[in-house]
Structures are given as structure tokens and as C-alpha cells.
Amino acid sequence: MKKLLVIIFASLVLATALPLYLVYAGFGQEGAFINVKARLEVSKDNVNWVNYEAEDDSGSGTLTVSPGDTIYFRLKTWNTGTHSVANVAYAAAFTNQQYLIDSVMFTGSGGGSGDLGDDGDPANGYSMTGEGYNSETGIATFELSGVAADSTITSGYQSGGITSQIATGTPDQTIITAAVTISDAVDLEIGWLNNIVSRAYADEFGTTTIGIIVSNPAVANNTADQSIVQTLPATGPNSADI
């Protein structure tokens, strides 16, 4: 009898969860409750922004830069769902990050941490935490305390940026990419059910990328010494034959 009661209770809970799940698919899957989106862009002048891939309106653009150029990354994020969301976690991965120098995260471009919204609304009280950008690994992880419901890419969004510089000596045609993935979020209004309702973590729509091509003809004319020889040839007695 007790076993039957437990099964019935569990079934009731799960039956409640099912309809919730159907409308709460998670990041970028058009869930009705929360639907957090992100768009990463890059610029040489902090004015004209280029995006390669995003859930909405992928630009398929690639920025061509030269060694010594200062470049700006900007990440915008917003939530088209009806519920406010908290603790939104992001992970960014850069390739060929050794050619990005003097990187400064979330200052001076794309809004900066003092105005995450970059929309005249001083951060909506939101704040950013996390590990920041690690120039050795090319990985950045950070978390926003909140993203407002019913926000869009032009209104109520949050944004932040990284200012960086292309290293001198970067080989010609080097491709640098950066991808940002939304890895977690908590629906404030569902509350404790966040731990019960399944969510589509970092689904295929939760990633946005940019691409940069470095143009450096001067280096293109040079052949790397390492590719010619590892050590200079031995032109004395051959010890193996002595």
C-alpha cells in the first residue's frame, strides 16, 4: 500500500513536470518561459561590428585585421522568454589565442561592466562574476546575475566586451575564432523546479561565433627557420662512421 502511494505521488509530480517541460525547452529553443540568446561580434573601430554565426541573423562575416590592430569583441545577450532569468553562465573559447595580446575583458567596449545593458539602463542591477579571460588557454567563463524577460537585441539586452590587440609577427592568413556558449541559466519564477525540469543546456542555438583573418604579407614572404632545418647540418667528421 505504501509503495503504491509513493508511485502515485511520484507520478503526480512527474505528470506536472511534463507540460512544464514542453513549454520550457531552455536556451534558444523557443521555450516560452526563458529563451536566452547571445550574439558575439568583433570590430576594428568599435563602431562597425561583424558576426559570423548567431541564432538570429547570422552575419557570416569575417573580419580582416593586420598585426598591431586593436580589436574589440562584443557579446550581447537577451531573453525573449516571459520569465526573468538568473545566473546565466557563458563559456567563451578562442583559437590561436597566442596571437591576441594585451586582452582586457569587459572594459572600454561594447558597454563595459559598469553598464552591462549598454542601453541607458545601468545594468538593471545585474552584475558579472566568473573567471574572466585566460590568455594562456583562450578560455573565458563568466556569469551574469540576471537577464530581463522580454528583452531583445535592441532593448533591455546585456552586453560586454574584450579589447585586444593582434600580435606583431602573426603569420599571414592566421584564422582566429571565438565561440561563446550559454551553459546554464535559472528561471527565477520556476524556482526550485529548475532542478526537476530538464533543460537543454548549451543546445545548438546557444552558441555564437566570430572569425578573424590576419593579413600579414610581410610574414608571408618569410619561411619559418624551423621548417627549413631543426639544427644546422653537420659538415665535419661523421662520428657514426669513425
Partner 1 sequence: MLIFVGFFCIYYFYYHKNQTGQNNSAASTLASKNFDTNIEENQTQSYFLSIENLKINAPIVLNVEGNDKNAYYSALENGVAHMKRTALPGDAGNTVIFGHSSYNATNNGNFKTVFARLNELKVGDTIEIKSQNKDFVYKIMEKKIVSAEEISVVHQDKTTQRLTLMTCWPVGTVDRRLVVIAELMR
Binding site for partner 1 (CB under 8 A): 7-8, 10-15, 17-18, 21, 91-93, 95-96, 171, 173-175, 177, 179-181, 183, 198, 200-204, 207, 209, 211, 221-239, 241-242
Nearer to partner 1, 191 or 233 (CB): 233
Whose cell is 619559418? That residue is 224
Nearer to partner 1, 15 or 47 (CB): 15
Nearer to partner 1, 21 or 86 (CB): 21
Cβ atoms 156, 115 nearer than 8 A: no
Q: Can you tell me the distance from the alpha carbon of 48 to that of 46, in angstroms, rounded to the nearest whole number? A: 6
Q: Can you tell me the distance from the alpha carbon of 234 to that of 53, in angstroms, rounded to the nearest whole number? A: 52
Q: Can you tell me the distance from the alpha carbon of 145 to that of 178, in angstroms, rounded to the nearest whole number? A: 23
Nearer to partner 1, 155 or 222 (CB): 222
Tell me how far, at minimum, the Cβ of 69 lies from partner 1, in Å. Answer: 17
Nearer to partner 1, 47 or 224 (CB): 224
Strand order of the β-sheet with 100-105 is: 36-43, 70-79, 158-166, 100-105
Tell me how far, at minimum, the Cβ of 25 lies from partner 1, in Å. Answer: 10
Tell me how far, at minimum, the Cβ of 98 lies from partner 1, in Å. Answer: 12
Tell me how far, at minimum, the Cβ of 53 lies from partner 1, in Å. Answer: 9
Nearer to partner 1, 88 or 180 (CB): 180
Q: Can you tell me the distance from the alpha carbon of 35 to that of 148, in angstroms, rounded to the nearest whole number? A: 11
Tell me how far, at minimum, the Cβ of 175 lies from partner 1, in Å. Answer: 4
Cβ atoms 201, 30 nearer than 8 A: no
Strand order of the β-sheet with 62-65 is: 62-65, 207-214, 175-187, 85-94, 139-147, 128-134
